[in-house]
Amino acid sequence: MSTNAPPPLKLGTRRSRLAMAQSGQVAERVRRLTGRPVELVEITTFGDVSREHLARIGGTGVFVSALRDALLGGGIDFAVHSLKDLPTTQPEQLALAAVPVREDPRDALVARDGLTFEELPDGARVGTGSPRRMAQLAAWARSLGRDIEIVPIRGNVDTRIGYVRSGELDAVVLAAAGLRRVGLIGEATELLDPGAVLPAPGQGALAIECAASRTDLAALLAELDDPRTRAAVTAERTLLAALEAGCSAPVGALADIPEEGQDVTELRLRGVVGTTDGTTLVQLSTTGRVPASAGEALSLAQAMGRELADEMLAKGAAGLMGERAH
């Protein structure tokens, strides 16, 4: 073994089971890619400590600011975030070095007795703290003529599933990606069709960040980037930004980017905004031609996001978002 072995790369991570799982998976890929050891450095964020509902503390960035401070202070070399927790404006001093291949973007239902959403009886209590999920679940229940009570909850994956195990709630809704990453996807009783419930912009994707000044490191991490995922989440996040909504706003978005070699000639971007009681939803989609190159895909993704936002705003989307997150 060489005496001047490179020092370990420090990967800053939140302490939650989900954050540790996704950081561990990225650390393994970076180790294999660079041959360098990767050390996990645990950091507590405001979002982990606060007991407040996310909708009340604003949501935007509560899980990421402590990690970003450590990146800028040099305490860590890179960080892994859930992309859907990242504010839409990227600070100049930080590089979004890679957006790896996306995990399942859908929401998952975890219900008692293996029930699907449509099988829930009148009076069923369904837990979620997300205004986006509240709006779409309430609208879905209304369309079924079903009387479902949406109960505001928050907490990590185990806490939320615990409400169903204990019998306190009939079901909860979580991101399928989170369940997969912590090995609990078997608890899901239904993967929700995006036609009924659109996921949060960027859901299921990770963001790997480092200081923009670390150009060599950024280039190394860029090996983990998946251009197709980056184009999809760019369309979704451009829509979110153009609606001037925060990550706690009742906004859902999903871009379908066809796999290479797939016989598809169109990209599709779907978006939804609604009131949390589900009485009003503005749900629209737009399509674009499949681009020739990754660079072209990004500008097309941005154009589609802006175009869909304009159409949604013309249909009254701004009035449905309530108080804007900051």
Ligand X SMILES: NCc1[nH]cc(CCC(=O)O)c1CC(=O)O
Q: What residues line the site for ligand X (CB under 6 A)?
A: 82, 84-85, 174-175, 177-178, 203-204
Please, which residues bridge with residue 191 across strands? 108
Burial of 89-125, coded b for 16+ CB within 10 Å and e otherwise, reads eeeeebbbbbbbebbbbbbbbbbeeebebeebeeebb
Q: What's the closest the beta carbon of residue 81 comes to ligand X, in angstroms?
A: 9
CA 140 to chain centre: 21
Q: What's the closest the beta carbon of residue 200 comes to ligand X, in angstroms?
A: 7
Q: Which long-range contacts (CB under 8 A, 24 or more apart) does 155-162 make?
A: 156/16, 156/17, 156/18, 157/17, 157/18, 157/182, 157/184, 158/17, 160/110, 160/127, 161/110, 161/187
* Cβ proximity to ligand X, 176 vs 211, nearer residue: 176
Please say if 85 is a catalytic residue: yes
Contacts of 318 (CB under 8 A, 6+ apart): 243, 244
Q: Please give the single-letter amino acid code of residue 123.
A: G
Report the chain's C-alpha Rg in angstroms. Answer: 20
Residue with tokens 């860590």: 76
Please, which residues bridge with residue 127 across strands? 151, 172
CA nearest neighbour of 270 among 176, 185, 203? 203
The catalytic residue among 77, 85, 107, 170 is 85
Q: What's the closest the beta carbon of residue 207 comes to ligand X, in angstroms?
A: 10
CA 153 to chain centre: 18
Which two three-digit tokens encode residue 131?
Answer: 């205004």
Q: What's the closest the beta carbon of residue 303 comes to ligand X, in angstroms?
A: 25
Q: What's the closest the beta carbon of residue 302 comes to ligand X, in angstroms?
A: 22
Q: What's the closest the beta carbon of residue 66 comes to ligand X, in angstroms?
A: 15
Residue with tokens 């905004």: 273
Catalytic residue IDs? 85
